[in-house]
Structure formats: C-alpha cells, structure tokens
Structure 1
C-alpha cells in the first residue's frame, strides 16, 4: 500500500493547483460516501434486533416459505 500511496503522491506533484483542488474535492466526496455507507450499515444492524420480534412470529410464519 505504501508504494501505491507514493505513486499517487508523485502524480499529484505534477498537477496544477486548480486540479489539486478537484482531487481534494473528490477525496472528500469518497470519504463522505464511505461514512454514509458505514452509517447505513450500522443503522441496519441496530434496527435488526428491534424488528426481529416483528419478523419472527407465528402469525407470519406462512410468509417464511415464500
């Protein structure tokens, strides 16, 4: 990974400053996207226990076979 980072750094060193701003914006976008993905995943895992009672019940067991 370190080698890959160094390769990216070398490429960045050759970009004009206005392009560096674009790269920085894109990095921020990717970071935000990752945070949102983790947050949705964490929320889903947290909600799963709450919905377990609703999903697993005798009245709705017929739907388990669909």
Structure 2
C-alpha cells in the first residue's frame, strides 16, 4: 500500500491525504454519535419504556 501511495504524483497524494482525513473524521463522528446515544438512552428510557407507549410497539 505504501509503495502504491508513494508512487503517485503529488496532486494525487493530496487527494489520498484528504480521503484519509475524511475517513478519520467519519470515524470520530460515528464514535461521538454512539457515545451521545449511549449517554441519552437512560434519559429516554423513562419515556420509551412505559405502558402508555406500548401501543406504538406494534406499529
């Protein structure tokens, strides 16, 4: 992989770097989304897990 990357012209190296940065940012964003969901789940549990809302489980 490194051989392939280093053989690219400089314009393409910039594209590869941009793509790698994009992948890293996407991973950070997904991790943040998962952490936010895990943090908010207990707060929403009282709203989601109640007898009045059970009717919506069948929709």
Per the TM superposition, whether the score is higher than 0.5 is yes
Q: CA RMSD in A?
A: 1.3
Alpha-carbon distance between aligned partners in 2 of 1:31 and 1:64, rounded to the nearest angstrom: 37
TM-score by length of 2: 0.84
Runs of 4+ in 1 over 4 A off after TM superposition: none
Q: Please report how far the alpha carbon of residue 38 of structure 1 lies from its aligned counterpart in structure 2 after TM superposition.
A: 1.0
Gaps of 5+ in 2: none
Instruction: Structure 1 unaligned segments of length 5 or more: list them.
Output: 1-7
In structure 1, the partner of 2:37 is: 44
| TM-score normalised over the length of structure 1 | 0.77
Could you report, residue by residue, the CA deviation over 1:3-60 in whole angstroms, capped at 9, with x for unpaired residues? xxxxx10101211111111100110011111111111111111111110000111222
Partner of 1:20: 13
